[in-house]
């Protein structure tokens, strides 16, 4: 079972370049999330989606855009990468209903912006 | 923004010791509290999802309690083993379905 798959796993960018991280889930989950993980700061929510065609801002949305054109995919875009966006990015998904809400995570994508 | 705090930041114990960590969160607009176990170079994996005040859940040697009125949860590990070494994350789910994570407690268990 694939679960949540992120691509690419690693990427090095120069300041000002753009890129897109792809998250795909095969569990028919309604909710999808993008987090970034920085040392000592835990996981911070960038953007999330409660269903196909909908997105919402999380804690740290600036500098990122997202799209959820298909239920199984959630894309995170950096239009003009900055060194402050060097981080490990995690995608997660969860069931729509309520009280379970358990998140299933991808393996992470390590991004370095020079 | 919901603020989720975990303590301690890190913990070193000997094999066989029992230990516990704390997660605190604002008690207003509470929806659910999650605990995750995160091993180095892997993805976080859910341990518990807790929703009701007074909830107590157990999985093997690991258990958790929840107090939604005062805004805290405890995670207990009985008889720690080296394989328990990991970062333990808690996350609070608000009515808006955002899941906000604490910074985690890093547990080191020495054989």
Q: Could you report the per-residue pLDDT of A16-67, keeping only the tens digit for each?
A: 999 999 999 999 999 999 999 998 787 999 999 989 999 999 889 999 999 9
Identify the band that residue A96 occupies on the pLDDT scale cut at 50, 70 and 90. low
Residue B18 has pLDDT above 70, yes or no: yes
What confidence category does residue B31 fall into, taking pLDDT thresholds of 50, 70 and 90?
Answer: confident
Q: What is the pLDDT of residues B53-107, one digit of tens each?
A: 999 999 999 999 999 999 999 999 999 999 999 999 999 887 666 778 899 999 9
User: Does the CB of B47 have a partner CB in chain A at under 8 Å?
Assistant: no
Nearest CB partner across the interface for B43, out of A45, A50, A107:
A107
Closest CB to A99 among B32, B36, B103: B32
* Contact with chain B for residue A109, Cβ under 8 A: no
Give the residue from chain B lying closest to A58, CA to CA: B98
Compare all CA atoms of chain B with the CA of A41 and give the residue at the minimum distance. Answer: B103
Q: How many angstroms separate the CA of residue B21 from the nearest CA in chain A?
A: 16
pLDDT of residue A98: 44
Which of A1, A39, A42, A24 is CA-nearest to residue A92? A24
What pLDDT score was predicted for residue B95? Answer: 67
Mean per-residue pLDDT for A100-104? 81
A104 beta partners = A93
Question: What's the confidence (pLDDT) of residue B2?
Answer: 59
A69 pLDDT more than 50? yes
With contacts defined as CB-CB under 8 Å, which chain A residues touch B49? Answer: 99-102
Q: Which chain B residues are closer than 8 Å to A50 by Cβ?
A: 97
SS3 for chain A, per residue?
CCCEEEECCEEEECCCCCEEEEEEECCCCCEEEEEEEECCCEEEEEEEEEECCEEEECCCCCCCEEECCCCCEEEEEECCCCHHHCEEEEEEEECCCCCCCCCEECCCEEEEEC
Residues of B in contact with A94 (CB under 8 A): 99
The beta-carbon neighbor of B49 closest among A41, A50, A100 is A100
Question: How many Å lie between the alpha carbon of B81 and the closest alpha carbon of chain A?
Answer: 24
Task: Give first-to-last CA distance, chain A, whole Å.
Answer: 35
Tokens 């995570």 identify what position?
A105
Subunit contact B43:A106, Cβ cutoff 8 A:
yes
* Subunit contact B51:A99, Cβ cutoff 8 A: yes
Please choose, from the candidates A77, A97, A87, A78, the residue with its C-alpha nearest in 3D space to the C-alpha of residue A31.
A97
Q: How near does any CA of chain A get to the CA of B92, in Å?
A: 10
Residue A1 pLDDT exceeds 80: no
């Amino acid at each position: 079972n694939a679960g949540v798959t992120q691509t690419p796993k690693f990427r090095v960018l120069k300041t000002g370049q753009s890129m897109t991280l792809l998250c795909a889930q095969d569990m028919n989950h309604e909710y999808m999330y993008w987090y970034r993980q920085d040392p000592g700061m835990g996981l911070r929510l960038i953007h999330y989606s409660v269903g196909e065609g909908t997105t919402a801002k999380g804690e740290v949305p600036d500098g990122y855009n997202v799209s959820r054109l298909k239920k199984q995919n959630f894309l995170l875009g950096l239009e003009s990468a900055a060194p402050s966006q060097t981080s490990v990015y995690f995608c997660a998904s969860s069931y729509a209903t309520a009280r379970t809400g358990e998140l299933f995570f991808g393996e992470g994508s390590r991004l370095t912006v020079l | 923004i919901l603020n989720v705090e975990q303590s301690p930041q890190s913990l070193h114990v000997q094999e066989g010791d029992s230990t516990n960590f704390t997660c605190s969160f604002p008690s207003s607009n509470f929806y659910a509290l999650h605990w995750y176990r995160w091993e180095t170079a892997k993805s976080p994996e859910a341990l518990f999802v807790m929703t009701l005040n007074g909830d107590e859940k157990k999985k093997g040697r690991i258990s958790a309690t929840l107090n939604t009125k005062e805004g805290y949860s405890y995670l207990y590990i009985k008889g720690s083993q080296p394989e328990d070494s990991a970062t333990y994350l808690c996350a609070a789910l608000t009515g808006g379905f955002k899941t906000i994570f604490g910074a985690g407690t890093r547990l080191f268990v020495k054989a």
